[in-house]
Amino acid sequence: MISIQLLNAILSENIDTCENLSSFLKKKEVDEDILDLIKEFQDSLAENNIKWIQKKNDIDYSHSKNEIDYSDNENDIDFKNHDNNLSDKEDDNNDHLIEDTATIVISPINKDLDSNSNTDFREQLDRRNNKEQMMWDDTKYNQQKKDGIFIFAKNRSKNIRGDVYIHKVEEVYPPDKRLKSWSKNVGQGNRNVLYLSSAYIHVKWDKWIEIGGSKKVQGTQPIVTNKNKIIKFINDSGIRF
């Protein structure tokens, strides 16, 4: 049995995953049967396909309690605007369609919680929730333009389900607009700053692969392969930023 003192110690550690709980209890030399129960519970979650975010770095835009969790939505795409209202914004004219000549930039979010991209990504989520401007680096080529597309990608891996988040580029600014918090990104100080729409399209990983998206994104880069197919997907979705 776990004592009250040990339970209080667990709560004070803010443990939020089965792995962390097991590691903590092993250090306390608890009985192996308790560790086995934790492992059985974790396996049960996986077998029943229950969404289980095993690490804090598997961040979901829909962490706000005011937003619908995309994992409960059977649609392949999900639109969220700045006010957390879900809607398919249909427009009879083509004013808001993405041009075929638009540049698409994609940037992967490292699963390592301590990585620069993960830290900066979480900062942008906080800025969005606080209704501040979201922004990100351009590629080393600095070729992105206003009304282009920017995509955050969380590559699928063992513990990450895989998601992409599609934003529209609202403005492009010179490097002097970079956030001070980005100073740790050594070597990227000459990259332009892309102001991103607070509205975004969240696409499931399987759908992303279906429309021609890369199976593994490495480094911030322009999309060339299947670019027109991805733009067509955005325009055909009926969603307008």
Q: Over the stretch 27-63, which tens digit does the pLDDT of each residue have?
A: 766 666 666 666 666 665 554 433 333 333 333 454 3
Q: What span, in angstroms and rounded, lies between the C-alpha atoms of 149 and 97?
A: 11
80: Cβ–Cβ under 8 A, 6 or more apart, which residues?
61, 62, 67, 86, 199, 200, 202
Please give the full DSSP string across 182-219, using - where no structure is assigned: GGGSTT-TTS-EEEE-S-EEEEEHHHHHHTT--SS--S
- The enclosing domain of 150 has a CATH number of 3.10.590
The CA dihedral of 21, 22, 26, 30, to the nearest 10 degrees, is: 80
List, in sequence order, every residue forming a beta bridge with 79; answer none if it has no partner: 201
Query: At residue 88, does pLDDT exceed 90?
Result: no
> Is residue 56 one of the residues assigned to a domain?
no
Identify the CA nearest to 62 among candidates 160, 201, 209, 207: 201
> Is residue 70 one of the residues assigned to a domain?
yes
Q: Choose between 163 and 76: higher pLDDT.
A: 163
The answer on 130 and 221 residing in a single domain is: yes
The answer on 145 and 184 residing in a single domain is: yes
pLDDT of 168 reads 97
| Digit-coded pLDDT (tens) for 130-148 | 999 999 999 999 999 999 9
Angstrom CA distances, 19 to 23, 41, 111, 144, 145, stand at 6, 11, 16, 41, 44
Q: How many residues does the chain have?
A: 241
| Digit-coded pLDDT (tens) for 191-209 | 999 999 999 999 999 999 9
Q: What span, in angstroms and rounded, lies between the C-alpha atoms of 23 and 94?
A: 56
> Is residue 13 one of the residues assigned to a domain?
yes
Domain that holds residue 135: 61-236
The answer on 185 and 81 residing in a single domain is: yes
> Is residue 145 one of the residues assigned to a domain?
yes
The answer on 192 and 123 residing in a single domain is: yes
Into how many domains does the chain fold?
Answer: 2
> Is residue 80 one of the residues assigned to a domain?
yes
pLDDT of 4 reads 61
DSSP reduced 3-state for 5: helix
